[in-house]
Amino acid sequence: MPRNILLFALALIVFAPSLLFALTLGDSVSTADVARTIGSRFSDSIAPPGGATDDIVWLLRIPRSLMAVVCGGGLAIVGVAMQALVRNPLAEPYILGISSGASAGASLFFLGLLPPIVSRAATLPVAAFLGGLLSVTVVYLIAREGPRLSVARLLLAGVAISALMGSITSVVTFASPDPDKIRTVLFWLLGSLGGSRWDLLAVPAASTLVGGFVLVGFSRQMDALLTGEEPARSLGVPVEGLKTILILIGALVTGTLVSATGVIGFIGLVIPHVVRLLIGVSHSRVIPLSFLLGGAFLLWSDTIARSIFPSQDLPVGVVTAIFGVPFFLALLRRSEYRFG
Amino acid sequence: MRSQLVLATFLATSILFGACNPTPTNTRTATQYTDDLGRSVEIVVPVTKMVSLAPNLTEIVFAAGAGDRLSGVTTADNFPPEVDTIPKFNAVPIDFEAIRTLEPDVVLATDQVNSPKDASMFESLGTPVYFLTFSSLDDIFDAVVTVGSLAGTKRRASDHSTTLRQAVMDLRDRTRVIESRPRVLFLIGEDTLFGFGEGSYVHEIIDAAGGISVSANEPLAAPVFSDEYVVEQEPDVIVGSFPPDVDAGRLLELHPAWRTVPAIQKGRVYAINPDVVLRPGPRVVEGAYRMALLLHPELFGDSAVTSSR
């Protein structure tokens, strides 16, 4: 037990300097600038730093860093939920077709085949979210067998819908006459934290927090589910209801995250395993620590991406895999790993 | 003075695409050429049938006085108007069957859009491919001469090439006197910020037009800029291949953090016809003059400003 408390303390201690490092990267922003920028929002006696610096910290870096934490953490906890749902270590947030559905929705909108509902910037996330939701709904309906939900059907339908949605995205992109829009779609598909803004942060943050608390609340039932559906049922777990809740949480959190940042891979698959390697399989510990580790990992990945190419928006998904995979493989090789 | 400058723009663009030229001599010989990628190509010259794989190459062929040798152009071609009468094929991906049917003596390609894989496919079909590369304005003007020498219209092509070069030099002379050059950021697209890094002729266009290209020394050739980059660089003017309705307010809506950027504050955000800047062809000269009109309208008469926009 002290080991777990220590790990949690460590995770929290890692966070503060990570955030500070992300915010002060480069020559233009100092720690004092960050302090004054934030301080001036709460007290009139503190003057904000000069115009551009204040905007860089408050309008760009803070929302971007928070989006990294929310997105990394959210994808990690949905990864935990999906792995518990299908009792398979290869499960990740995108298995139910959410990412490919969101991509199809986004590309249909980008290329003008869906009308802008509100403003253009606000409609893209909506189109992506609806695409993801449609995919999950179809997968869910196909996987239902009477009152029960077949996990095997769920996985297969997810793979099939992903392929279908991927084809739709390709066809739409291929048929588009406008090369500028194609570039924008392709860039979006790679996943980037570049467009993070305060107004785009609220929905993903709220859904991730809600999802996180609900999952922690069901952590004992998820522990039981890992032992198998029949054993879980004999322990009094309402298995079918739990599966539906896990899918709903997965769809809500993944859908809102993908619509905000595009598809960022690797985190949802790997962070839960890393956490289990560190502290075992109990979900009451795995879920919170996955959130912290996933958030910190994406924050660092983005910071690394920004320091390699300071003037550019390098898609962060590129970095997560390059730096994360060797670490994960080393950890996998050294430890005795238990999934369930 | 002012009218001369504007006239030069029209000279550079319209006259070059003028009438046809006499037919080439009857003697045709197989000749070894080395193209811009250093590939060795055997072409029977002067060529009578050419195919262009990109719109800028088509414009270069017309500028070389060899437009009547084009037996095929891409579906993306829209200039000069004569291209409407030439058979068209899909260039992305390349419709090899359609091009084979046209039986061209040479296919003109550019490494901007065509891959070496395409070249080996053409080679297996027995069609020579000549690759052209464009990283400076000189490359574009040289290409006009190169195409002229392939088509047997070299004199005419050289003359046109010289006219184009001269037009750019005239513009440079005109903008040389400007003391405070604005910092210009050129963007492709207003949402995702694609731009040009080092080794692009676009910086030369901005320089000739009397501006300083902000991204001229960015290490990647095709960067995607972050919002932070734009805020830090503080460009005085933002020019881009935007839809015509994009202005400072629209950019601020998409990028709220840009409110301190001088170009946004002064409302100096301009959309420019992408075809005259993004196509490395003869119309880059028109692009340079249009850019100059945007950056320094005071150098030109009021009438010139309105007619150009």
Question: Is residue B272 over pLDDT 60?
Answer: yes
pLDDT in tens, B274-294: 999 999 999 999 999 999 999
Instruction: Give the CATH fold of the B17-162 domain.
Output: Rossmann fold (3.40.50)
Residue B203: pLDDT band (50, 70, 90) is very high
A56 Cα to chain B: minimum distance (Å):
6
User: Higher model confidence: residue B21 or residue A173?
Assistant: A173
Q: Report domain extents, chain B.
A: 17-162, 180-308
Q: What is the structure's pLDDT at A2?
A: 64
Question: Is residue B207 over pLDDT 80?
Answer: yes
Interface of A with B (CB under 8 A): 28, 51-52, 55-56, 59-61, 119, 121, 180, 183-184, 187-188, 194, 197, 306, 309-314
Put simply, the answer to whether A180 touches B228 (Cβ < 8 Å) is no
One of 3.40.50.300, 1.10.150.530, 3.30.479.10, 3.40.50.1980 is the CATH number of B180-308, namely 3.40.50.1980
With CA atoms as reference, the chain A residue closest to B218 would be A311
Put simply, the answer to whether B254 touches A121 (Cβ < 8 Å) is yes
In chain A, the domains with their CATH numbers are 2-334 (1.10.3470.10)
**Same fold flag, B17-162 and B180-308:** yes
Residues of B in contact with A51 (CB under 8 A): 260
Question: Is residue B18 over pLDDT 90?
Answer: no
pLDDT above 90 coverage of chain B, percent: 73
Residues of B in contact with A119 (CB under 8 A): 253
What is the full per-residue pLDDT of chain A (340 aa) written as tens digits?
566 677 678 777 878 888 888 898 877 788 889 889 888 888 888 888 877 888 889 988 999 999 999 999 999 999 999 999 988 888 888 888 888 998 888 888 777 666 655 555 567 778 888 888 899 999 989 998 888 888 889 999 999 999 999 999 888 877 776 666 677 777 777 888 888 888 889 989 999 999 999 999 999 999 999 999 999 999 999 999 999 999 999 988 998 898 888 889 889 999 999 999 888 889 999 999 999 999 999 999 999 888 888 788 888 888 888 888 887 888 778 767 667 5
Report DSSP letters for chain B, one per residue. -HHHHHHHHHHHHTGGG----PPPPS--EEEEEE-TTS-EEEEEES-S-EEESSHHHHHHHHHTT-GGGEEEEETT---SGGGGGS-EE-BTTB-HHHHHHH--SEEEEETTT--HHHHHHHHHTT--EEEE--SSHHHHHHHHHHHHHHHT-HHHHHHHHHHHHHHHHHHHHHHHT-SSPPEEEEEB-SSSEE---SS-HHHHHHHHTT-EETTTT-SSSS-EE-HHHHHHH--SEEEES--TT--HHHHHHH-GGGGG-HHHHTT-EEE--THHHHS-STTHHHHHHHHHHHH-GGGS-HHHHHHH-
Q: What is the structure's pLDDT at A49?
A: 85
As a whole number, the mean pLDDT across chain B is: 88
